[in-house]
């Protein structure tokens, strides 16, 4: 069995901890795991963080953050998209688990297939036709296209119209869209009433880099930052974030060198 579950090169060590980002924990939330093998009473559900992640098999949330049972309330869907089911689950967590919940995390990952599909349709709209009769897939891609458009607009503003001809344009647009999607989801969650009413909950974002096995979290002040970053506070801060992503070393090197 251990051979089946042993890490095969896609897992961390990742130096990112969620507890470190949860201000209410001061870096060390008390463990809520079961205390004894002999316990027969079902433990109360007490996660300290809710995580919206991608369904991608290479991004197992608990393993990346080295957390165990009853510590994370995890929702995983393709492209870590905020569909009705995810938002409903999140609402349950913020309403019913508020005693233990300190943080909401949106975790994207490099090379995300959902964002890659959205970028390819943005670059070649004719490819949308095969999706026309696949409502379930189309719904995911439709929701991500706005993020791709925003990232493409930032590229034009930052590098000029010729950026589309650069060899790494597609790869860079995919990665910029991935982090923009994660930050936008965190921003949207932060604006939700339960979080905006001063409950103390924070929404943060990050992108797990499959090759480096670290969590990248660019901000306007630190485009190369690692860890988890707080969601931009308002539309102006979000625009600054977008420019910072385009100027980041990771995105610039992709544009110049390609994937
Ligand atoms: Zn993905």
Digitized pLDDT (tens) for each residue of the chain, 259 residues in all: 333 333 333 444 455 677 767 655 554 454 555 555 666 788 999 999 999 999 999 999 999 999 999 999 999 999 999 988 999 999 999 989 999 999 999 999 999 999 999 999 999 988 777 777 777 777 888 889 999 999 999 999 999 999 999 999 999 999 999 999 999 999 999 887 666 566 778 999 999 999 999 999 999 999 999 999 999 989 999 999 999 999 999 999 999 886 6
Ligand 1: distance of its center to the CA of 57 in Å? 9
Ligand 1: distance of its center to the CA of 178 in Å? 9
| Cβ neighbours for 194, distance < 8 A, ≥ 6 positions apart | 91, 94, 95, 201
Ligand 1: distance of its center to the CA of 39 in Å? 37
Ligand 1: distance of its center to the CA of 181 in Å? 11
Is CATH 1.20.1370.20 the classification given to domain 46-257?
A: no
Extended strands (E) in the chain: 49-53, 72-76, 103-109, 202-209, 214-216, 229-230
> What is the reported pLDDT for 194?
61
Ligand 1: distance of its center to the CA of 61 in Å? 12
Ligand 1: distance of its center to the CA of 59 in Å? 8
Answer left, alpha or beta for residue 111, where phi above 0 means left and psi between -120 and 50 means alpha: left
Ligand 1: distance of its center to the CA of 145 in Å? 15
> What is the reported pLDDT for 29?
52
**Rounded Cα gap, residues 27 and 49, in angstroms:** 13
Ligand 1: distance of its center to the CA of 23 in Å? 28
pTM for the complete prediction?
0.86
Ligand 1: distance of its center to the CA of 241 in Å? 21
Q: Give the environment of ion ligand 1: residues with CB less than 5 A.
A: 54, 56, 112
Ligand 1: distance of its center to the CA of 41 in Å? 37
> What is the reported pLDDT for 25?
54
Ligand 1: distance of its center to the CA of 136 in Å? 16
Ligand 1: distance of its center to the CA of 210 in Å? 11
Ligand 1: distance of its center to the CA of 114 in Å? 6
> What is the reported pLDDT for 250?
96
| Cβ neighbours for 197, distance < 8 A, ≥ 6 positions apart | none
Domain ranges of the chain: 46-257
Q: At what angle do helices 169-191 and 135-159 cross, to 10 degrees?
A: 110
> What is the reported pLDDT for 37?
60
- Number of Cβ within 10 Å of residue 196's Cβ equals 11
- Strands 49-53 and 229-230 turn out to be unpaired
- Number of Cβ within 10 Å of residue 43's Cβ equals 12
Ligand 1: distance of its center to the CA of 54 in Å? 5
Contact 185, 241 (CB under 8 A): no
């Amino acid at each position: 069995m251990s051979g089946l579950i042993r890490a095969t090169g896609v897992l961390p060590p990742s130096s990112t901890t969620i507890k470190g980002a949860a201000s209410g924990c001061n870096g060390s939330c008390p463990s809520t795991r079961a205390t004894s093998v002999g316990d027969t009473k079902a433990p109360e559900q007490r996660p300290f963080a809710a995580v919206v992640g991608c369904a991608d098999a290479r991004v197992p949330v608990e393993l990346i953050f080295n957390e165990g049972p009853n510590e994370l309330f995890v929702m995983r869907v393709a492209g870590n998209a905020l569909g009705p089911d995810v938002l409903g689950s999140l609402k349950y967590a913020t309403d019913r688990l508020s005693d233990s919940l300190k943080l909401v995390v949106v975790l994207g990952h490099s090379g995300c297939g959902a964002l890659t599909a959205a970028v390819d349709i943005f670059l070649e709209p004719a490819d949308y036709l095969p999706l026309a009769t696949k409502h379930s897939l189309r719904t995911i891609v439709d929701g991500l296209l706005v993020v791709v458009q925003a990232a493409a607009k930032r590229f034009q503003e930052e590098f000029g119209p010729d950026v589309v001809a650069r060899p790494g344009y597609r790869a860079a647009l995919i990665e910029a869209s991935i982090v923009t999607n994660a930050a936008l989801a965190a921003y949207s969650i932060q604006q939700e009433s339960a979080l905006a009413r001063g409950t103390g909950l924070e929404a943060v974002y990050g992108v797990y880099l499959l090759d480096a096995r670290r969590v990248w979290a660019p901000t306007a002040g630190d485009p190369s930052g690692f860890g988890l970053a707080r969601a931009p506070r308002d539309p102006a801060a979000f625009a600054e974030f977008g420019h910072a992503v385009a100027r980041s070393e990771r995105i610039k090197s992709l544009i110049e060198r390609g994937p």
